Amino acid sequence: MINMKEVSLLNMHKILRFALLLLSLPLHASAQSISGAWPALHPETGRPNIRNYSPKEYGAMPQNWAIIQDQRGVMYFGNWNGVLEYDGVTWRLIPTPNKSGVRSFAMDEHGRLYVGAVGDLGYLAPDSLGQLQFVSLLDHVAQEGRGFNEVWYTYATSQGVYFGTDRMLLRWDGSRMRSWKASTLFSRLFMVRDRIFLRQWDVG
């Protein structure tokens, strides 16, 4: 006995396939006519718009270790020669007092930029002409704690700004610098929900 439901479903599938075939023919033909009418697209069409800047253009060393953007949209790069400032038109180098490289940045809730350098740490503040300059906080570090090298990590929290080195963790609260010395070596510093986590070799 013939199942009329199966027959109707079979016919419906055939009709749909035929309709799709008819619809695809004009689209295929129009696509061929368009591709023939227009020249080939540039090989970079559809790719991200990337602009590379050479050390010759920005006037500093090739290595850049950190990057941050302030509330005005100005970009800052941690370069081996200091802090590179770029406003979209002009590059400017902001050196550290000891002419060292910059490894890390952080911005606090007020928009102040803090800088972790090699053997130094501080923040950027405008001079009498309104140009940002590096202000060192090294004088606030106890004499026995000034022998650190790279400040690899800088984080701004509600408790203050943390600066992380291989052997020392420092915190600036706006008026006082506190420090903690590693019993072995600090290997990693990171922040989660305003809390600082620190890994120390052979400790945890």
Residue of 185, 196, 114, 131 lying closest to 157 (CA atoms): 196
Largest CA distance in the chain: 101
What does DSSP assign to residue 118? B
pTM equals: 0.75
* Partners of residue 123 on adjacent β-strands: 114, 135
- Per residue of the chain (204 residues), what is the pLDDT tens digit? 444 444 455 566 666 665 555 555 444 444 444 445 556 667 767 777 888 999 999 999 999 999 999 999 999 999 999 999 999 999 999 999 999 999 999 999 999 999 999 999 999 999 999 999 999 999 999 988 888 899 999 999 999 999 999 999 999 999 999 998 888 888 888 889 999 898 888 786
